[in-house]
């Protein structure tokens, strides 16, 4: 712990005073409808000067204010400067804020309640620090396993991404903060992200990449960030088709489109295409002078005067921004912005963490995917153990100090988030070592070896322990930081820091070896058939409570129920997508993303999408299906799930749809999941409803194909326990 109790108490007291407003707002929970918000916004904006409307749409410059982006306050009417701040897992450049689980780990819970709980605390913390726009959730589909920033989003499946994205928007916005869905669209690799063109057909665009945006727009998301890349050769932030036609037209998005940072390259086309906010809008001069609006600001005002952009378009920008602001209730008592990004120290200390660590710990434990558990070696039985060996740098702290790498751009010590603008500072971290020590109790002797390269020591420490737990990592992030030669994207899918050798050395030395891997995504496991490796534990990127969440599962306080939000292949060549170094990144795999590729091409993965073990077992029976005429409930299904094992636990019941052959879809698509907690010996009836949304394909428009469908209900995308057919 950093401070003495007295200091914590003092800070909390001060924070309590500064935070008087957030509580009141959070209790309201009722947001305005878009119509209500628009009528207020239109009334306000109708009184604004052209310059003020342009100012609302223009950033005040990178590094020149207290947030990563700020807009200008109005003069003609009383409209404040708005603060835009990263990111998807917490508040970047903030102190006294929570560093929780990454989105990819949240997705692995397959738990709607936890997704929403996490979103509420994210929103509360941003609100408490006076952040108007939180720059998340990230909805970039995990198109291929090398994608550097995929850990910022919710995995390879659009349905899962859509559910998690919508719940995240709901939680953040109900706390009075405008959520920002990003990066719109086809920003699926870091390599050449500023120049390459992601080329895709209309159907793939809609069914795979747009799907999650459709769900967050339905949830009323206040902002969408257009991405760096080109889409079919036109920059995403100048793309009339993707922004105006699809996002604002087809999906009916009513909030404001903001550019990614410096993704804005000119004045007129972006305005016409439907961009509403230029971010951060500055020309970075060597002496960091404030140059307002690199492309907008006075340039946009002039473009209006010259007749190149209509004033109506600018009025519409300001109206959209003001509408999002009214919708989230930010016109009433919004807290002062107290961020200290870019070393601004003048703001007061505001502690927003509250008891959010509890949610972080709960999500972290619920997200642990148990990949192997031979001889039921887990949970660890304290009574039978006298010595546990912990091996690998990932078990311990960063030797250079907490937050010693800017934006977490390194892989030192335990890995609990990736790097880049989606990373935050840790207020503290409970390492795996600390978490395990706390729960192992005093009678168990714990020995360590942190050096990943000292295989002799690793083997020695492992050899005389009852159980050896060996840790390793694989990291990635955003391209502006290069870590160990990885320019954001992953160079390969191997473990970092000598991981494979370390695991082999430990397994050779101890016949009860447990492997724990903290990774941004899939890794290769050349040691997986080693007879001494009894368990493989996959906790993802759990944030500050990582060690506690892990120990909860290792010692059986929590029965694991996490499921993989992506596919782990047997070998690298089994994946169909690698980052492309060409200027044209062609999405030729079309709908065959992730497990759909493995299913369609009969490739057996090592661990499939949706997979994960439990300390208990579940039996499925009695699947019943009926069709109705109601558009939002065309098919209804129920299935009974029995916990027939020895302990209580949660099961993730997954529903996959097999479309009629004529539809040309991959073999099965996730279209429902429910996590149900069932006491041992008890059963639960799980229901699914599939409406037009779940049963449509894109064929010039969203269409429900006629013919015979299959419904697959199971414990993963390949562990199908019950099937049924129905016709529409």
Distance from C-alpha of 366 to C-alpha of 390, rounded to nearest angstrom: 22
Q: Say if residues 474 and 519 touch (Cβ distance below 8 Å).
A: yes
State the DSSP code for 376: G
User: By the 8 A CB rule, do 60 and 72 touch?
Assistant: yes
Closest CB to ligand NOJ among residues 135, 650: 135
* CB of 567 closer than 8 Å to CB of 521: no
Does 264 participate in binding ligand NOJ (rule CB under 6 A)? no
Distances (CA, A) of 13 to 10, 91, 574, 586: 5, 21, 56, 55
Using CB under 6 A as the binding rule, whether residue 487 contacts ligand NOJ is answered as no
What is the smallest separation between the CB atom of 224 and ligand NOJ, expressed in angstroms?
A: 12
Q: Report the interhelical angle of 112-128 vs 356-366 (nearest 10°).
A: 150
Query: Which 678-697 positions form the footprint of ligand NOJ (CB under 6 A)?
Result: none
Query: Cα–Cα distance between 127 and 481 in angstroms, integer?
Result: 29
* Residue placing its CB nearer to ligand NOJ in the complex, 398 or 421: 421
Burial 341-362 (b: 16+ CB within 10 A, else e): beeeeebeebbbbbebbebbbb
In this complex, which beta carbon is closest to ligand NOJ, that of residue 331 or of residue 478? 478
Q: Binding pattern to ligand NOJ, positions 435-474, x when CB under 6 A?
A: ----------------------------------------
Tokens, residue 530: 């080693």
Catalytic residue (one of 86, 157, 260, 452): 260
Which CB, 85 or 614, lies closer to ligand NOJ? 85
Work out how close the CB of 137 gets to ligand NOJ at its nearest, in angstroms, rounded to a whole number. Answer: 11
CB of 66 or CB of 421, closer to ligand NOJ: 421
Q: How far is the CB of 359 from ligand NOJ (least distance, A)?
A: 23
Residue 86 makes contact with ligand NOJ by CB under 6 A: yes
CB of 252 to ligand NOJ, least distance (A): 24
Comparing CA positions, the residue from 158, 143, 135, 151 lying closest to residue 213 is 158
Task: Write down the H helix ranges in 383-528.
Answer: 432-440, 455-463, 499-509
CB of 260 to ligand NOJ, least distance (A): 5
Query: Considering the complex, what minimum distance in angstroms separates the CB of residue 450 from ligand NOJ?
Result: 33
- Strand partners for 586: 199
Q: Report residue 598 CA to chain centroid gap.
A: 23
Of 69 and 562, CB closest to ligand NOJ: 69
Catalytic-residue membership of 260:
yes
Q: Which position among 52, 140, 157, 260 is part of the footprint of ligand NOJ (CB under 6 A)?
A: 260
Q: Nearest to residue 686, comparing CAs of 698, 699, 704, 673?
A: 673
Report, in Å, the least distance between residue 279 CB and ligand NOJ.
7
Q: 37: which residues sit within 8 A by CB, 6+ positions away?
A: 323, 324, 326, 327
CB of 544 to ligand NOJ, least distance (A): 21
Cβ proximity to ligand NOJ, 88 vs 413, nearer residue: 88
Q: Which residue has the tokens 């500072």?
A: 425
Token pair recorded at residue 617:
């077992």
Residue 319, both tokens: 């109206």
Q: Are 668 and 709 in contact (CB under 8 A)?
A: no
Asked if residues 651 and 643 have their Cβ atoms less than 8 Å apart, the reply is yes
Q: Measured from the CB atom, is 182 or 433 closer to ligand NOJ? A: 182
Give min distance, CB of 692 to ligand NOJ, in A: 32
Task: Tell which one of 32, 64, 131, 135 touches ligand NOJ (CB under 6 A).
Answer: 135
Burial of 63 (0-12, 13-18, 19+ CB in 10 A): middle
What does the chain come to in residues? 728
C-beta closer to ligand NOJ: residue 226 or 533: 226
DSSP type of residue 419: B
From residue 658, how far is each of 155, 215, 390, 664 by CA, in Å? 21, 21, 45, 10
Q: At CA 160, angle to CA 633 and CA 123, rounded to 5?
A: 105
Contact criterion met (CB below 8 Å) for 445 and 375: no
Q: How many CA atoms lie within 13 A of 63 on its CB side?
A: 11
- Binding test (CB under 6 A) with ligand NOJ, winner from 54, 68, 257, 440: 68
CB of 6 to ligand NOJ, least distance (A): 36
Among 188, 198, 421, 576, binds ligand NOJ (CB under 6 A): 421
Instruction: Based on the shown chain and the rule CB under 6 A, indicate whether residue 261 belongs to the binding site for ligand NOJ.
Output: yes
Residues 154-213 contacting ligand NOJ, CB under 6 A: 182
Site for ligand NOJ in 509-538 (CB under 6 A): none
What CA dihedral angle connects 554, 558, 560 and 561, to 10 degrees? -160
Nearer Cβ to ligand NOJ (261/656): 261
Catalytic residues: 260
> What is the contact surface with ligand NOJ in residues (CB under 6 A)?
68, 86-87, 135, 182, 260-261, 421
């Amino acid at each position: 712990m950093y401070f003495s109790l007295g200091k914590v108490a003092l800070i909390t007291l001060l924070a309590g005073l500064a935070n008087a407003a957030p509580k009141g707002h959070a209790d309201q929970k009722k947001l305005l409808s878009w119509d209500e918000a628009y009528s207020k916004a239109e009334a306000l904006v109708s009184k604004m000067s052209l310059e003020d409307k342009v100012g609302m749409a223009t950033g005040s410059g990178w590094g020149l204010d207290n947030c990563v982006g700020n807009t200008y306050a109005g003069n003609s009417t009383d409209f404040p400067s708005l603060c835009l701040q990263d990111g998807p897992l917490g508040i970047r450049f903030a102190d006294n804020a929570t560093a929780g689980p990454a989105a990819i780990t949240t997705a692995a819970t397959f738990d709607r309640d936890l997704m929403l709980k996490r979103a509420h605390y994210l929103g509360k913390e941003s609100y408490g620090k006076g952040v108007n726009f939180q720059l998340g959730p990230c909805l970039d589909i995990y198109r291929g396993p090398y994608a550097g920033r995929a850990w910022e989003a919710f995995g390879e499946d659009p349905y899962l991404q859509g559910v998690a994205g919508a719940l995240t928007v709901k939680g953040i916005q109900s706390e009075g903060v405008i959520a920002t869905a990003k990066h719109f669209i086809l920003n699926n690799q870091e390599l050449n992200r500023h120049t390459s063109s992601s080329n895709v057909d209309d159907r793939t665009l809609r069914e795979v990449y747009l799907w999650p945006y459709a769900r967050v727009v339905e949830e009323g998301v206040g902002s969408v960030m257009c991405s760096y890349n080109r889409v079919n050769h036109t920059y995403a932030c100048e793309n009339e088709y993707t922004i105006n036609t699809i996002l604002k037209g087809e999906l009916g998005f009513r909030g404001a489109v903001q550019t990614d940072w410096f993704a804005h390259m000119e004045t007129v086309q972006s305005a016409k295409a439907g961009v509403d906010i230029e971010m951060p809008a500055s020309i970075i001069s060597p002496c960091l002078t404030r140059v307002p609006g690199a492309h907008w600001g006075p340039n946009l005002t002039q473009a209006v005067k010259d007749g190149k952009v209509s004033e109506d378009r600018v009025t519409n920008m300001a109206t959209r921004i003001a509408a999002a602001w009214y919708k989230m209730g930010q016109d009433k008592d919004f807290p002062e912005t107290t961020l200290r990004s870019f070393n601004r120290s003048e703001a007061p200390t505001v502690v927003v963490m509250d008891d959010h660590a509890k949610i972080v710990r709960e999500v972290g434990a619920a997200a642990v995917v148990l990949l192997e558990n031979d001889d039921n070696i887990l949970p660890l039985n304290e009574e039978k153990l006298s010595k546990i060996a912990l091996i690998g740098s990932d078990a311990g702290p960063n030797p250079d100090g907490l937050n010693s790498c800017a934006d977490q751009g390194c892989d030192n010590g335990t890995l609990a988030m990736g790097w880049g603008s989606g990373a935050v500072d840790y207020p503290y971290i409970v390492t795996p070592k600390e978490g395990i020590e706390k729960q192992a109790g005093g009678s168990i002797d714990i020995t360590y070896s942190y050096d990943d390269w000292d295989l002799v020591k690793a083997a020695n420490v492992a050899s005389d322990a009852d159980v050896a737990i060996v840790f390793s990592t694989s990291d990635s992030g955003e391209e502006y930081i290069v870590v160990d030669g990885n320019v954001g994207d992953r160079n390969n899918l191997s473990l970092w820091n000598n991981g494979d050798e370390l695991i082999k050395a430990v397994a050779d030395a101890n016949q009860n070896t447990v492997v724990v891997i903290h990774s941004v995504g899939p890794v290769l496991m050349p040691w997986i058939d080693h007879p001494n490796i009894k368990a493989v534990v996959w906790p993802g990127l759990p944030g500050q409570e990582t060690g506690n969440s892990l120990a909860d599962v290792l010692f059986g306080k929590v029965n694991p129920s996490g499921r993989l939000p992506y596919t782990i292949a047997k070998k690298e060549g089994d994946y169909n997508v690698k980052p492309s170094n060409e200027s044209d990144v062609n999405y030729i795999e079309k709908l065959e993303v992730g497990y759909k590729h493995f299913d369609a091409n009969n490739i057996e993965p090592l661990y499939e999408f949706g997979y994960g073990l439990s300390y208990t077992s579940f039996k499925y029976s009695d699947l019943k299906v009926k069709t109705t005429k109601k558009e939002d409930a065309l098919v209804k299904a129920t299935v009974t799930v029995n916990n027939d094992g020895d302990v209580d636990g949660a099961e993730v019941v997954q529903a996959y749809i097999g479309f009629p052959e004529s539809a040309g879809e991959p073999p099965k698509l996730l279209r429902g999941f429910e996590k149900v907690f069932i006491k041992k010996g008890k059963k639960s009836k799980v229901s699914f409803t599939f409406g037009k949304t779940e049963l449509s394909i894109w064929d010039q428009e969203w269409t429900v194909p006629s013919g015979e469908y299959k419904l697959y209900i199971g414990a993963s995308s390949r562990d199908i326990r019950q099937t049924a057919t129905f016709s529409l």
